[in-house]
Amino acid sequence: MKKVLALLIALMPVLASAKITLGEVTISGEKSEVTVMMNKNKPKYYCIPVMTDHTGMHEIWVKPKEAAKFHTALFEAKAKFKEWSKVAEDNNVGEFEKDMPVRFPTVTYVWGHGDLFFCDAPFKLTFRRTKEGANFAALYIHVTAATNRFVDENFIVLLMGEEELDTFLDTFSSKNIEKVMLENADYDPNTDKRTVDDSLFK
C-alpha cells in the first residue's frame, strides 16, 4: 500500500501538468504540433516548437490570456503580408526587408520544454523578399535567458506565404481553442456536459 501511495504522489505533478495538442502549424514547409501545457485541467501555456541556429528545437510559449491578441496580430500580419507582396510584385521590387507594423503580445522563449532557461520578449515579424522574388514573414530574435546571461540563442520562425500564416490563424482561433479545451475538459455527470472556463475566450 505504501508503494502505491508513493507512486501516486510521484505521479501527481505529471498528472497535473499534462500536455495536449492544440493544432498543427507549418513553418518553412515543415509541420509541427502546437501543444498545450495543462495545469489542473486549465491551459498554462500554448507551446510552439521552433528552430534555433545553435542547439536545434526549442519553444515559444503564449499565455492563454494573450491568445486572442496573438491571433489578432497574426490576422493583421497576414493582411500586411498580402498587401506588401502585391506591391512588390506589381513594381518588380528586388531584395527587400521591413518590420511589419503589427503589435504582438509578449511571449516566452524557452530552451527545451521547461522553464529552467527562458526569456520574455515581444514577438514580432518582418516582411522579407529575396532577389528571386520569394516573399516570407520572418521572426529572427536573439534572446538571453533571464536566469543565465551566458545562455543565449537566435529563435527563428520563417513563414513562407499566406498559407503558413493561415495554419497559425486556424490553431490560435477561439473556435479551435474552445473545441480542444472542451474535448479535454472533465465530464460533469450532473449536467451531462463537459464545460470549460469562459474566461479563456474573452
Asked whether residue 23 is assigned to any structural domain, the reply reads yes
Asked whether residue 3 is assigned to any structural domain, the reply reads no
pTM of the model: 0.82
Asked whether residue 192 is assigned to any structural domain, the reply reads no
pLDDT at 196: 53
Tens digit of pLDDT per residue, the chain (202 long)? Answer: 444 334 333 333 433 447 899 999 999 999 999 999 988 778 999 999 998 887 778 999 999 999 999 999 999 999 999 999 999 999 999 999 999 999 999 999 998 767 778 899 989 999 999 999 999 999 999 999 888 888 888 999 999 999 999 999 999 999 999 999 888 876 555 554 555 554 444 4
Helices 67-90 and 162-171 meet at what angle, rounded to 10? 170
d(CA 36, CA 176): 12
d(CA 86, CA 68): 28
Cα 154–148–60 angle (5° rounding)? 40
Asked whether residue 9 is assigned to any structural domain, the reply reads no
3-state secondary structure the chain: CHHHHHHHHHHHHHHHCCEEEEEEEEECCEEEEEEEEEECCEEEEEEEEEEECCCEEEEEEECHHHHHHHHHHHHHHHHHHHHHHHHHHHCCCCCEEEECCCCCCEEEEECCCCCCCEEEEECCCEEEECCCCCEEEEEEEEEECCCCCCCEEEEEEEECCHHHHHHHHHHCCHHHHHHHHHHCCCEECCCCEECCCHHHHC
Q: Which domain holds residue 147?
A: 18-184
Asked whether residue 198 is assigned to any structural domain, the reply reads no
Asked whether residue 157 is assigned to any structural domain, the reply reads yes
pLDDT at 12: 37
Beta 30-39 vs 135-144: how paired, if at all? Answer: unpaired
How many domains does the chain divide into?
A: 1
